[in-house]
A and B are shown apart, each in its own frame.
Chain A
Amino acid sequence: MSPGVEGKELDVLDSQERVRFEQLVLPHLDAAFNLARWILRGRNDAEDVAQEAMLRALRFFRGFHGGDVRAWLLQIVRNSCYTWLEKNRPMELSTEFDEELYPQPGVTPESLAIAGDNRERLTRALEGLPPRSREVLVLRELEGCSYKEIAAITSMPIGTVMSALARARQRLERALTQANAARNQEANREL
């Protein structure tokens, strides 16, 4: 990477590199969007941040010398997401996460009725997890990344990836159990 990249200056790629960028990086746009969507918990914000991340990737592309393109891109996406969260919703990052403190996003009788659907139920449970738990689960279960790739994307040692995943899965399971219990309670009240 040339020193100019850091500032406002853009390192403009020549046409051959652009074609290479299009062939190597653009196919991972879905992966980029999906990760941003789950870290930020929303499609609109994800679209903005993924777009910004793709432009950063384009700018840094000269510094990419082979290797795992998807991991390289997702690392940029992840960093863009956290930068965005720090600026716009710092609360989500500042408290060391605790399910008891963290407000479950809108658990109301209506939302629980909708949550009967498996997808909705899992979406809510995932979105209720702290971002760092959510991201490892998304990378592993939705993106199919290996521990090594997750380690590269999140800058964590592989051992930490393994325990982060274990913790995230336990949290998810607990969240699903709680949601189920709440739903049953609601159903009983209606009877």
Chain B
Amino acid sequence: MSCELTQSVLDGYLDGELDAARSADFERHLISCPQCASALEKQEALRTSIQQAGLYERAPSTLRRKIESQYGVPHAVTPMPVKVGVLPSSWQWLAVAAAFFLALFFGWRFLPGLGANRAQIELTSAIVDAHLRSLQPGHLEDVVSTDQHTVKPWFDGKINFAPPVHDFAGDGFPLEGGRLDVVEGREVAVLVYGRRKHVINVFVWPMGEPDTSPQSGSQLGYNWVCWRSAGMEIYAVSDSSPTDLDALRKLLSE
């Protein structure tokens, strides 16, 4: 393997895109080629510095709201079907959106079975808003730590209940920190978990009512799951998939 040929092989190796045989070939080559070894080292350092620089820029919440209002689906609560044909102009889009909201409104108002529980929907909105707020720069964590033994005592003395704090790094959900928040006037503890590139906020507050089985849904493109267990009401929200959220729920419930 000559060094002229290895430049893109080096990148393939760096990206974990070579098959096992080519990977092994390249590793053998590295031993005898200081040039490639140092190039690889440089590239690895560059990658680390890119990943640590926080260059990923999330969509502003204004964009999220604009899109949502443009196609007129505020929630994934199955709405009444709106049957429309082919629509040429944006005015007519607006009319569809208006009709849609109206249908949704009356759906909730007069058909309690359809909209399920309005209080819950309002709570979900408040939680999703809190999640969006937390994604603004500098709002995510009050205590930044991957150590549950740092995060747990941090809550002591700040709130009058003890949220369950566990790190699930081994299961792909590393604990990244915690913070306090206020949702619908009540103080809540928030645990922040990472899931690949996604952030999962877990809101916890005490609740005297009996345990419930999990409920889930999505709003503004964020998925959520909530349940009550051991005297706590717990809401997990993220742009991560519903499957991920459910996996975290199971870990938290163990």
Residues of A within 8 A of B (CB): 4, 8-12, 14-16, 18-19, 21-23, 26-27, 29-30, 32-34, 37-38, 43, 46-47, 50-51, 54-55, 58, 118-119, 122-123, 126, 137, 140-144, 146-147, 162-163, 165-166, 169-170, 172-173, 176
Residues of chain B in range 8-25 having any CB-CB distance to chain A below 8 Å:
8, 10-12, 15, 17
A4 touches B86 (CB 8 A): yes
CB-CB under 8 A from B186, the residues of chain A are none
Q: Contacts A14-B81, A34-B57, A141-B51: A51 and B11 contacting too (C-beta < 8 A)?
A: no
Q: Contacts A33-B57, A43-B60, A162-B12: A23 and B73 contacting too (C-beta < 8 A)?
A: no
Please tell me which one of the listed residues A19, A29, A144 contacts residue B59 in the complex, with CB atoms under 8 A apart: A29
B55 touches A122 (CB 8 A): yes
Known: A14-B81, A166-B8, A172-B46. 12 other contacts (CB 8 A): A10-B88, A14-B83, A16-B78, A23-B242, A37-B57, A46-B57, A143-B197, A162-B8, A163-B7, A166-B11, A169-B43, A169-B46
Residue of A nearest to B42 (CB): A173
Please tell me which one of the listed residues A29, A122, A169 contacts residue B64 in the complex, with CB atoms under 8 A apart: A29
Q: Smallest CB–CB gap between A108 and chain B, Å?
A: 21
A167 and B81 alpha carbons, distance in the complex (Å): 51
Q: Smallest CB–CB gap between B100 and chain A, Å?
A: 8
A165 and B13 alpha carbons, distance in the complex (Å): 12
* Residue B117 lies at the interface, judged by CB distance under 8 Å to chain A: no
A-B contact count (CB 8 A): 142
* Residue B111 lies at the interface, judged by CB distance under 8 Å to chain A: no
CB-CB under 8 A from B167, the residues of chain A are none
20 contacts between A and B (CB under 8 A): A9-B87, A10-B86, A12-B84, A15-B82, A27-B222, A33-B60, A34-B57, A37-B57, A50-B59, A55-B67, A122-B49, A126-B55, A141-B47, A141-B51, A142-B50, A142-B56, A143-B197, A147-B15, A162-B17, A169-B46
A147 and B14 alpha carbons, distance in the complex (Å): 12
B71 touches A29 (CB 8 A): no
A22 and B42 alpha carbons, distance in the complex (Å): 41
Q: Contacts A33-B58, A165-B15: A144 and B196 contacting too (C-beta < 8 A)?
A: yes
CB-CB under 8 A from A27, the residues of chain B are 221-223, 239-241
Please tell me which one of the listed residues A4, A33, A122 contacts residue B50 in the complex, with CB atoms under 8 A apart: A122
Residue from A8, A26, A126 whose CB has the most chain B CB atoms within 10 Å: A26
A19 touches B58 (CB 8 A): no
